Amino acid sequence: MSDTSLPSIETVHRVLGRLAGVRVLVAGDFILDRFVSGVVERISPEAPIPVLHGRAATQALGGAGNVVANIVSLGGKASAISAVGDDPAGRTVLSMLSDLGIDAAGVVVSRARMTSCKSRFIAMNQQVLRFDEEEVAPLDAPTRAELVARFAAALADADIAVLSDYGKGVLTNGVAAELIAIAKAAGKPVLVDPKSRDFGHYAGATAVTPNRKELGEAVGRAVMSDDEIELATRELIAAHGFDFILATRSEKGMSVVDAGDARHIATQAREVFDVSGAGDTVIATFALALGAGAHRSIAAQLANAAAGVVVAKRGTACLTVEELIGALSRASGPARHVDAVLDLAGAERLVTAWKREGLTVGFTNGCFDILHAGHVSLLHAARSQCDRLVLGLNSDASVRRLKGEGRPVNTEHDRACVLAALASVDAVVVFGEDTPLNLIERLKPDVLVKGADYTIDKVVGADIVQANGGKVLLVDLVAGRSTTATIRKLQGQVN
């Protein structure tokens, strides 16, 4: 079954709002990625090779380390389990984990190992050479025993485990199977990003996340079409006891398949600069979403959008929740009205995403009890002054305090749904206070709009908006239009 529909904004915010509480235990090969950029202006006289004039050098956590970095950048909590060498690259990896706020107590430092380091040399945004420093070898017996013990101890505090196998030796020789057995015994889901062609090494895992090439190698044949993907994944599910498989398919998107259902998710068209580490972003996002309670198809759609963000970046990259929301917003188009009613945390994330896209955000507020022409005119005028408009809506209790018993006529739910259906309104946030001051402080709109029956010095939050470089606008109201007048007319008090 193809699934081109994206999760609703409401669903996205519900999942993203829970990411901060998800704890992911990441075990695997931690790699130091180095990037040396420069320019090529001549060919070496010593050999027919380009001479790279280095201009800058950066480094990042690679392999399983990039999974950890993506989890942290998305607001989740990560623990690291690995083995690195007692060498400069290993010490750099430990330092970078510390900089991310990650407890590296699960990382075994072994003098018998060499930390993998990949150096990429780049000119004009193109890699001209990659230099790998590594020794691929399984763990020695003492290091293996210590790593397994640290995994078992850390698992108690985790919601979900990820095994990131880059084939450097940390998860080879039966280590992956041992960690999967420990996770299953503890009742914790475990996802595997595989490297081995023999998926039997990961038997019993909740899911594996191969790319199309790795999937084809595992079944010994090419897989391209949806039907071929489904056949291959179900063959592996039956053989190795996976609950499901998430297959990434480059320009074809992703497929999430179990024994009875298959979802094929189209990729989001983005300019591709670098695919380094995209699989790490996928499994990090997928694991966090599953840990937050999302269905696997929703988690896959979020992971698909996340991959679309990082491939547009250079080097081993991470993304933020705001970037993910922005990607989903671009792909989904206008929100359905029920999806535009948000809590304050969801509105903050959406506003941040809009601002990252360079959009101006406006804000206005009110009770909007019985919608009339004056309301519509005000909202239309407000929206004309910004790219996106957030409406702060007084709760039922707040309206009652302001307007008296018998008000509101319509509940906050009904009022919010009606307002969110208007083309001029992009998001509605219900607030329980008498004024929207807290909303304005949190959302920091670029434009604050009120009716011309106010003066700027009487507009709540005007000083905050102006102090942040924004502007306050007063717009003319439609004369004779008010909810109170409408109620009186309905009661027969006005002919």
C-alpha to C-alpha distance for 422 and 275, rounded to whole angstroms: 40
Is 280 tagged catalytic?
yes
The string over 332-367, giving b where at least 16 C-beta atoms fall within 10 Å of a residue's C-beta and e elsewhere, is: beebebebbbbeeebbbbbbbbbbeeeebbbbbbbb
Q: Which helix (H) or strand (E) holds 108?
A: strand 107-110
Q: Is 450 a known ligand-binding residue?
A: no
Three-state SS annotation for 384-405: CCCCEEEEEEECHHHHHHHHCC
Cβ count within 10 A of residue 153: 12
User: Is-contact 481 372, C-beta < 8 A?
Assistant: yes
User: Is-contact 250 307, C-beta < 8 A?
Assistant: no
User: Is-contact 26 292, C-beta < 8 A?
Assistant: no
Six-digit token string for 231 = 């056949």
The SS3 assignment for 265 reads: strand
Q: Is 214 a known ligand-binding residue?
A: yes
The string over 107-121, giving b where at least 16 C-beta atoms fall within 10 Å of a residue's C-beta and e elsewhere, is: bbbbeebbbbbbbbb
Which phi and psi (to 5°) does residue 109 adopt?
-100, 120
Q: Is 296 a known ligand-binding residue?
A: no
Q: Is 230 a known ligand-binding residue?
A: no
User: How do beta strands 77-85 and 23-28 pair?
Assistant: parallel
The SS3 assignment for 123 reads: strand
Catalytic residue among 280, 339, 369, 446: 280
Six-digit token string for 486 = 């409408």
Sort 388 into a burial class: Cβ within 10 Å, 0-12 / 13-18 / 19+.
buried
**Binding-site residues:** 211-214
Catalytic (active-site) positions: 280
**Binding-site residues for ATP:** 211-214
